[in-house]
Amino acid sequence: MILLGMLMLSMQASGYVGFLVDRKSTSGMDHFLGPCLVSWVTKKQHFIAMSTSEVGHVAAASCCAQLLWIRQQLKDICVDMGCIPIFCDNTSAINIAKNPCQYKRTKHIDIRHHFLRDNVEKGLISMNFCATNKQIVDIFTRALSREQFEKNRLELGLNKITFSKRPSSPSSA
């Protein structure tokens, strides 16, 4: 069965203080099913974050919510995805999700964002590290340099298709 070879992964990134008017950050995520991009999000977060890891944690939590929905959809057609990896470029955000302790700088994070932590404990989601220069999803959260932008665009699967002119028939040549 072809479906057995499928792997779902999602990338998540966050732009700290992306919007200067109210100092709120932007979260961006994309979800791949096999090689195909199936959903993508870019969203200004609802609250003002005090650190980049907090932004990452919140973005990962909303990413997790979307993943669980996709997971449920796939379950309906009898596809079990197992543990779905989320790739995040912020190691502290990953550690917040893995470690259930409360620290001075994380205890104010809203309880609904600890939803992620719960799902990691259950083994539905796993948090993994991905270097910033390999994050495809950066295109959704910040303005990139031309090279980076073109690279990300290509990896998302956007290609420029150029149609070559129809070869002229021998009679007209």
Partner 1 sequence: MESAKPIDTLISPSTRLVMVDGSPSFEEKSCRGTIGSLLYLTANRLDIVLSGGLCVRFQSKPKQTHLMDVEWILRYLKTYF
Positions touching partner 1 (CB under 8 A) are 19-21, 26, 28, 37, 40, 42, 44, 139-146, 149-150, 153, 156, 158, 160
User: Residue 20 in contact with residue 139, Cβ under 8 Å?
Assistant: no
Q: For partner 1, give the closer residue by CB, 42 or 126.
A: 42
Shortest separation between residue 92's beta carbon and partner 1, angstroms: 24
Shortest separation between residue 156's beta carbon and partner 1, angstroms: 6
Q: For partner 1, give the closer residue by CB, 95 or 152.
A: 152
Cβ neighbors of 50 (< 8 A, separation 6 or more) are 105, 108
Q: For partner 1, give the closer residue by CB, 27 or 90.
A: 27
Shortest separation between residue 122's beta carbon and partner 1, angstroms: 31
Q: For partner 1, give the closer residue by CB, 76 or 147.
A: 147
